[in-house]
Amino acid sequence: MADTSYAAVLGRRNGIMKASLGIDFDSYVTSPIAFDYERMMADTGYSLEDIVRIQSQTKVGGTPLHELTRLTEWVRRTAEPGKGARILVKDEAANASGSFKARRASISVFEAQRRGFEGVVAATSGNYGAAVASQAAMRGLKCIILQEVFDSRGVCQPEIIEKSRACEAYGAEVQRLSVGPELFYVLLRTLEETGFFNASLYTPFGIRGVETLGHEVATQVRERFGRDPDAVVVTHAGGGNVTGTARGLRAAGCLDTRVVACSVDLEGLHMASDVDFNRKSFTTGHTGFGVPFATWPDRVDVPRNAARSLRYMDEYQLVSQGEVFFVTELLAKIEGLERGPAGNTSLTAAVTLARQMDREGIVVVQETEYTGAGKHHNRQLSFARENGIEVRVGDPAQNVPGTAIVLPRTLDQVRGRVQDMDRLRLSYLKNAARHHPVGAWTDADVAFLAADIKQDAAWVRRAVAEDSHE
C-alpha cells in the first residue's frame, strides 16, 4: 500500500503526472527555468485541422460572431468626434456546456479516449469542470470533478454551486472541498487511485484546443470586413485563454492584431484566504489569478504550464467589479444577450478601447459564457450584500475589493486601467531568479525568458543588471 501522507503523495507527483498524461515533461526541460516550449506544443501531434474536426464531433466551435451595433453607438456618444470602433463579440456560450472552456476540454477528453483511459479528472471551480463533464459524456468516459467550494463556515459561492450543478447534470462525480492546499493533494490521490486521465487546464492539449477560437475570429472578421481585427480582448485568469487565442490568431496570419488581456481588479484579496474566499464576486478572470500566473506560469498542477500569457499579450487592463456588472446588464438590456459576468470582463475593457479607437477600427471580444442561477450578476450582488459588502451606484473608481462594489451611473464612467507591462515582466524575471540564480543563467536561459516575456535577450540582460544595482 502506497504512503498516502501529504508529503509522500506530493513527492510522487512527477510520476503520477506522467502516468496520467503520457507526457514526459522532463524531456523538454533544459534548466530549472527553461524548456522547449514549441516542441512540447507540437508534440501533441494535432494539426489545427485535426482540432477543428475533433471539436466538430462534440458540438464545439463554429460559434457566431455578433456585431454589437447598439453598444457601439452608445460608446460613440461618449467618445470624441471620429472615435468609437466597432465592437464585435464571439458568442462562445453557443458551445456545448456554454463557454470557450469546451474547446480546452474537447482535446483533453479526446486524447483520454484515444489512449484508452476509462475516465478523466479535473480540478476546477469554474466553467472548465462543466466542459470536461460535457465532453466526457459525449465520449462515453467517466468523469470526476474536484472543486474548491466552501470556506470554514461551510458557506459556498453561488457561482461555484451553479457550476457543480452543471457538472452533475452532465453525469460527473463532483467532490466538493474547502478552500486551501488540499485541492492539489486530492487531485494527485484521485489520479493515482483511479488511473484516470488528468484533464488539467494547463496541458498542451487544452491550450491547443483554444487555438481554433483565435483562428475563427480572424477568419470571420476577414469574411465580413475584408481585413484583420485591430484588437482582440481576452479575459485573463490562468493564461490559457490569452495563450490559445493568440496562437490561433498568429496561425491565421494576424500578426499586427493587438492582444489585450483584461482582469477584474481584486487587489487586496488573497485567493487562498479562507476569510477572503467569499468576499470576491468573481471566481475567475481576476487579478488573484491573472497577475500571479502572468508573472510565474509554472505554479500549476503540471510540471510545465502550456499557458504562458506574457508571451502573447500586448496590453493588460484592469476593470472593477462594478463596471463589469454594469456592462453585463447593459448587454442584456440593449443587445438582448444575457451572458455571464466573467465572460463580460473583456467586453468591459473593449468599451474603453473602442472609445479611444477610430470609427473604422474593429475590436473583438473573444468570448461570452452562459449565465443563470448562481452565475447571474444579480445573485452575485445579493451574495456580496450577504457578506457585508456595500453595493451602491456612484463613481467606480471608489470600488474597494471585498468592501464596496460601486456600479457606474453612466457608460462614460466605464474606463479600464492599463497596467505597466514592464513591471509584470520584471516581476517574472525576479521569480525566475528565485528558482535559478541570475549568475547561473545561460544564453539559452536568457533566450527562453526573453521569448516568455515578449522581449529580446538584450532587454532581459539590461533589466536584471539594473535590478541588481537598485
pLDDT band at 469 (very low <50, low <70, confident <90, very high): low
Write the DSSP string, 39-71.
Answer: HHHHTT---HHHHHHHHHTTT-S---EEE-HHH
- Asked, for residue 182, whether it belongs to a domain, the answer is yes
Domain hosting 270: range is 54-98+205-418
- Residues 10, 148 within the same domain: yes
Q: Is residue 426 part of a domain?
A: no
Does residue 87 lie in a domain region? yes
Instruction: Compute the average pLDDT of residues 319-348.
Output: 95
Tell whether 274 and 405 lie within a shared domain. yes
Q: Are residues 304 and 166 in the same domain?
A: no
Look at residue 179 in the predicted model and tell me its pLDDT: 78
- CB 275 within 8 Å of CB 419: no
Instruction: With a cut of 80, say whether residue 271 has pLDDT above it.
Output: no
Question: What cell numbers appear for 161 in the block?
Answer: 454551486
**Cα–Cα distance between 147 and 165 in angstroms, integer?**
12
Mean pLDDT of 322-350: 95
Task: Please tell me the total count of domains within the chain.
Answer: 3
Q: Based on the domain organization, do 260 and 275 belong to the same domain?
A: yes
Q: Give percent of the chain with pLDDT exceeding 70.
A: 99
> Do 271 and 363 have their domain in common?
yes
Q: Stretch 425-446: mean pLDDT, rounded? A: 97
Note whether residue 341 is domain-resident.
Answer: yes
What nine digits make up the cell of 150? 466552501
Mean pLDDT calculated for residue range 122-137: 93
Q: How far, in Å, CA of 196 to CA of 173, rounded? A: 13
Q: In a 3-state reduction of DSSP, which class is residue 105?
A: helix
User: Are 106 and 87 within one domain?
Assistant: no
Q: Is the pLDDT of residue 399 over 80?
A: yes
Q: How confident is the model at residue 470 (pLDDT cuts 50, 70, 90)?
A: low
Q: Does 355 reside within a domain?
A: yes
Same domain for 166 and 126, yes or no, is: yes
Q: Which of 142, 173, 201 finishes a domain? A: 201
What is the average pLDDT value for the chain, to the nearest integer?
Answer: 94
Query: 160 and 246, same structural domain?
Result: no
Across residues 291-309, what is the average pLDDT?
A: 94
Segment among 151-165, 256-270, 272-286, 287-301 with least mean pLDDT: 272-286
Judge whether 327 lies within some domain.
yes
- Which of 166, 183, 201 is a domain's end point? 201
Tell me whether residue 151 is in a domain: yes
Q: Are 220 and 351 in a shared domain?
A: yes
Please check whether residues 253 and 265 belong to one and the same domain: yes
Q: What is the mean pLDDT of residues 437-446?
A: 97
In a domain, 256, yes or no: yes
The residue type at 99: S
Average pLDDT over residues 428-452: 97
Give the whole-angstrom CA distance, residue 140 versus residue 3: 32
User: Span 186-211, mean pLDDT?
Assistant: 95
Q: What's the pTM value of the predicted model, to 2 decimals?
A: 0.95
Sorted by sequence, the CB contacts under 8 Å of residue 448 that are 6+ apart come out as 30, 33, 34, 35, 37
Question: CATH number for the domain including 215?
Answer: 3.40.50.1100
Provide the Cα torsion 297, 160, 98, 60; round to 10°. Answer: 50
The last residue of one of the domains, among 201, 216, 248, is: 201
Q: Are 248 and 192 within one domain?
A: no
pLDDT in the model for residue 282:
84
Report, as an integer, the average pLDDT of 425-447: 97
The pLDDT tens digits of the residues spanning 68-127 come to: 999 999 999 999 999 999 999 999 999 999 999 999 999 999 999 999 999 999 998 778
Asked if pLDDT for residue 277 goes beyond 90, the answer is no
The DSSP secondary structure of 402-461, one letter per residue, reads TTEEEEESSGGG---EE--HHHHHHHHHHHHHHHS-GGG--HHHHHHHHHHTTS-HHHHH
Q: Do 161 and 135 belong to one domain?
A: yes
